[in-house]
Amino acid sequence: MNSFFSKVMLFLVAAVLVISSIGLSPTSAATPFKDVSSSDEEVDYLYNKGYIKGISDTKFGPDRAVTREQAATLIGRALGLNGKERKTKFSDVSATSYSSGYIQSAVDKGIITGYPDGSFRPKHTMTRGEMAFLLSRAFSLSKTSTVFFTDIKQDSNSKSLYTAVNRIATAGISNGTGGGKYSPDKDLIREEFAIFLARALEPKFKVAFQNATIDKLYSTTDNLNVRSGPSTGYKVVGQIHKNKEVQVYGYSGNWAYGKSGSLTGYFSLSYLAKATTKPSRVMVIDAGHGGDDPGAVANGLKEKDVNLDVSLRVERMLKAKGIKVLMIRKTDVFYSLDYRAAYGIKNGADAFVSIHANAASPGVSGSETFYSASVANDSKQLATFIQNRLYKAMNHNNRGVKEYGYRVLASNPLPAALVELGFLTNSSDASKLASSTYKERAASAIAEGIEDYYDWKER
């Protein structure tokens, strides 16, 4: 890997892509940028390799759009293509443009194409769909799997959008935008492209693609065959009985692809129906840290203990509301971030909340709740409902609802939020989080916010 990319050089700041940031503290110890958290391993990796740098000495500017020429230039340099400025096949790309050599080299390699009118439109913002084509070609991705997105029609043609998106999902580069969607027409921002690039370059950043449950149907007959493909010509992999739930990941003609119990495969829609009862409410509660990972430690408190205490209270309150609760941990044990992110989808949950406490300089205080920029609007709504109740219940400074790519959020196909109860490093916040009264108030606020979310979702 290092030898392959040893010739990669930095390019103009205008062409540099960056990872998400929202002004969190503490900043990353591996970079000089104040708007990058220490949890941003991808940006640390890209920065230390010399592939990216910021828009200034202290900032990245993550929300800025990625233009087509910027993407072509970065990919070209990463692949060691000839970047010598020269004339291209596109009339709207100047021979003196910094991107011209990389654009033409990428065309010669079959990595990029222009528009039917012969233009490239270098200043146009790249879309997520175009990004899928670019990365799948640039890194010669060919493997596909059973991938479903509700906003992309299945098309087995090797040049289709579906195939390109399938390839990057199968390669662990993208999990979509949540709720079973990929959002191919959405403008690509530097935050997203940098994450995708890091995953393409370094295996440890890859995510395991998981289809999201987009529907829940029930078998109307006993001994319903589950098949390996969407027709009766495919082999039977098992059977389910009447009234068994099927978590649907996608549809192919008159067939649903999904999971029922331990069986995953295709189910005939002729023998499936919607439930007539009230929708289920199954929430994952993740008490952050645990075991050998104490999290933040300050003012006589360990974050892992506060998180677990509040989480257990939330569990009790949610159950009293008739909401089923799946706990990541109920004791002082440690689980990996990937295990936590995958737990809900593997166990039939429909949403995820991770509970944490914060740390910064002693003067910083208040509650805040996060959702990932790469997941659907449902995540933002979940985070908002919780935050609107939490800061009031804690008599805290309202630090708001913010986008951030925490791994338990960004790698999670479910609507997901991460709650920061308060700052253990702030004496006032810590005093409250040491108090049974305030921990009960925090738990009540989170449980009520979750109930608000379900009520909103079911309207």
Which of 420, 440, 448, 458 is the catalytic position?
420
CB 121 within 8 A of CB 92: yes
DSSP 81: -
| Residue entry with tokens 């987009």 | 214
* 420 tagged catalytic: yes
Which residues, 6 or more positions from 283, have their beta carbon under 8 angstroms from its beta carbon?
318, 323, 324, 325, 326, 349, 350, 351, 352, 353, 450
Q: With helix as H, strand as E and coil as C, how does 5-54 read? A: CCCCCCCCHHHCCCCCCCCCCCECCCCCCCCCECCCHHHHHHHHHCCCCC
Q: Using alpha carbons only, what angle is made at residue 267 by residues 265 and 273, rounded to the nearest 5 degrees?
A: 140
Closest CA to 21 of 73, 59, 49: 59
Q: If you compute the radius of gyration of the chain from its CA atoms, what whole number of angstroms results?
A: 24
**Residue 344 corresponds to which amino acid?**
G
Q: Where are the alpha helices (DSSP H) in 28-178?
A: 41-49, 68-78, 100-108, 128-138, 161-170
Which residues, 6 or more positions from 385, have their beta carbon under 8 angstroms from its beta carbon?
449, 450, 452, 453, 456
- Residue 230 preceded by cis peptide, ω within 30: no
CB-based contacts of 390-393 (< 8 A; 24+ apart in sequence): 390/419, 390/421, 390/442, 390/445, 390/446, 390/449, 391/366, 391/367, 392/445, 393/441, 393/442, 393/444, 393/445
| Alpha carbon distance 457, 382 (integer Å) | 9
| Alpha carbon distance 17, 442 (integer Å) | 38
Catalytic residues: 420
